[in-house]
Copies of this chain bind each other. A is one copy, B any other.
Amino acid sequence: MPRADEFQLIERYFAPLTKHGDGEISAFDLKDDAASIKVPQGKELVVSQDALSENIHFFENDPLDLIAQKALRTNVSDLIAKGATPYAYSLALGLPKDFEEDAIKQFSNGLSQDQDKFGLTLSGGDTFKSPNGLIIAITAMGLVDEGAYKSRLDANIGDIICTSGTIGDAALGLQVRLGELKDLPKEHENFLRHRYLLPQPRIELVAVISQYATASMDISDGLVGDLIKLLEASNLSASLELDKIPLSNAAQSLPQYIETCITGGDDYELLFTVPKIHMDEIYGIAATCGVPITAIGEVKSFSGDMNNRLDILDKTGKPLSLTQNSYVHF
């Protein structure tokens, strides 16, 4: 069988992904140069773009359906953190020259499953030859009510700092993957590996963010570093209580790695601030939807001292000092 060309691959594996739309998103079976997207009255569009490249954001031997899902989910996670409901996405896919049709099939299967899970549809994109390894650049679009977009700039003094799920699992999972963490119980090892491989965007909490959050973002570069970014953007400071940070059983079994947990990347949990008076309602929603929300600190005024943006207090109230705040990109 002759090797499928670009247009055949698009027709076979990507055009079907445009069928999930409800008529508001016209992708013309990917036979046109663009898509037409309607934004319902009273809504505005939220646009986020994340790019992943092989051996930096994922490993070349990771399953391709999970790579596709990780690429989509890092974007979906951004939308949710803004209080937006996922709507559509555009996919630029850089394929190395030896990429097989079966791999494309597996990749598109992963996307198809996640489109159903998160309620969005492919609107278009581009394929190109990658110089080396797979490259995935997704632009995701979501909808919020007009004026309801949640940035990271509007935290207020006295707000409670909340996070979803558990923190640090993905960073530990990467250590497992790199062979740094050995002799773990198999169940912990599998759990941590999976948390690194596949983020779980908290779609159940979109309404919490859009209704109650003052500032919000997702944690991609580590809890501490990302919280500092939120505080800088809001021109405020905060205190963080170390023993309140929610940890999985696996992470709790590795107390010597607490710094990895709170500074490592790839959590894709929500980090947001809310007025104290709403905490009871928020806990109620968290209980109903089964995704834990934990209060981990409080927003304070900023003295102007850059070295005093965030106090991390251990359970005796003593400030903790870290060797590095955040996953470093370059």
Contact = CB atoms under 8 A, between A and B. Distances in A.
Contact of A328 (B5, B26, B137, B329): B5
B151 A49 contact: no
A36 interface: yes
B137 A34 contact: no
A47 B90 contact: yes
B149 A26 contact: yes
A262 B40 CA distance: 42
Contacts of A232: 31
Given A5-B330, A6-B330, A126-B50, A36 B32 contact: no
Given A33-B81, A329-B5, A131 B132 contact: yes
Interface residues of A, number: 69
Contacts of A142: 34
Given A31-B152, A55-B131, A49 B94 contact: no
B153 A51 contact: no
A131 B124 CA distance: 25
Contacts of A64: none
Contacts of A28: 151, 153, 233
Interface in A74-118: 78-79, 81-82, 84, 88, 90-92, 94
User: What 6 A-B pairs are tightest by C-beta distance, nearest first?
Assistant: A131-B132, A34-B48, A92-B137, A139-B139, A137-B137, A39-B39
